[in-house]
């Protein structure tokens, strides 16, 4: 089993995922432009690389968890990037959410140098990243998936091989269609219940045991009732992911009218200065539209 793992990108998701890899016994090397998480990982036992190239040269498996497609392309294919340091036979795993065609292009470039690649985006938010219960959806060569399984098992609970390169990112795009719809629907139902004089908290308890049950209703209302709208998963990343969904759908001539409408609400979050709030804070846009603010009383029921 590969034990020398490199991890690039130590944000809300990457840092706890890296800590779980250390706990699972992997020899971890990290790289990030942000120093505080690097220092925290170093204190937990990780080695520190000065560049993606240096990290790739020292590790048999290299993992990235970065904000967007250009970030991944730069770190993998750019100057002092992973490609310059990776050895033939090494494995690249990308946990970022990027365009499927970019994932395929990166995999093709790495294959020219006999480096295997998996696109393996994750779902479950910071809660799942900390607990090691993420859902991981994987595209790429099946033999690479089997090789990476011990890594995935340290990071997540639901691990699914979806198909060839790019298939993991297609699954994540579909996931984000559902996530956005759930966040918007939750905001609407909470405000409707309150407007009609019924406790939103009790409504959630009443419906989440039935057909409306979902991860969003299990996890997010408690934060909102407590007045907590910090990420989580940042609104501007939700907006970015929906842009990927709609751009990809447009390229294939596939209309997604509900997703397009939800995209407008997340666009409004950015315009209203809510870009760094949690994606569940889309309720703030609905509050602005309706004039109905989720009340303090609902949080203490």
Catalytic residue among 172, 195, 220, 240, which?
172
The residue assigned the tokens 């905001």 is 187
CB 180 within 8 A of CB 262: yes
Phi first, then psi: what are they for 238, rounded to 5°?
Answer: -60, -45
- How far is Cα of residue 121 from the mean position of the Cα atoms in its chain? 6
Q: 219: which strand partners? A: none
Long-range contacts of 74-81 (CB under 8 A, 24+ apart): 75/8, 75/9, 76/52, 76/106, 76/109, 76/110, 77/106, 77/109, 80/51, 80/52, 80/53, 80/54, 81/52, 81/53, 81/56
Q: Is 157 a catalytic residue?
A: no
- Secondary structure letter of residue 142 according to DSSP: H
Which residues are catalytically annotated?
172
């Amino acid at each position: 089993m590969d034990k020398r793992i490199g991890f690039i990108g130590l944000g809300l998701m990457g840092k706890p995922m890296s800590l779980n890899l250390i706990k699972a016994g992997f020899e971890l090397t990290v790289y990030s432009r942000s120093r505080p998480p690097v220092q925290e990982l170093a204190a937990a036992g990780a080695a520190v690389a000065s560049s993606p190239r240096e990290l790739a040269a020292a590790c048999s498996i290299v993992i990235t968890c970065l904000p967007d497609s250009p970030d991944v392309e730069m770190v993998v294919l750019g100057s002092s990037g992973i490609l310059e340091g990776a050895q033939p036979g090494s494995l690249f795993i990308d946990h970022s959410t990027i365009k499927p065609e970019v994932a395929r292009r990166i995999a093709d470039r790495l294959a020219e140098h006999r480096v295997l690649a998996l696109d393996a985006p994750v779902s479950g938010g910071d809660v799942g990243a900390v607990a090691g219960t993420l859902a991981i959806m994987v595209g790429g060569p099946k033999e690479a998936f089997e090789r990476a399984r011990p890594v995935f098992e340290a990071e997540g609970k639901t691990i699914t091989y979806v198909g060839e390169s790019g298939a993991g990112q297609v699954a994540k795009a579909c996931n984000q269609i559902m996530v956005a719809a759930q966040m918007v629907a939750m905001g609407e139902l909470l405000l409707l219940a309150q407007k009609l004089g019924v406790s939103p908290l009790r409504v959630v308890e009443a419906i989440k045991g039935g057909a409306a049950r979902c991860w969003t209703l299990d996890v997010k209302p408690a934060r909102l009732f407590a007045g907590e709208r910090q990420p989580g998963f940042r609104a501007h990343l939700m907006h970015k992911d929906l842009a990927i969904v709609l751009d990809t759908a447009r390229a294939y001539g596939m209309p997604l009218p509900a997703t397009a409408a939800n995209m407008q609400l997340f666009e409004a979050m950015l315009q209203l200065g809510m870009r760094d709030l949690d994606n569940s804070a889309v309720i703030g846009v609905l509050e602005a539209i309706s004039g109905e603010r989720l009340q303090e009383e609902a949080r203490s029921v």
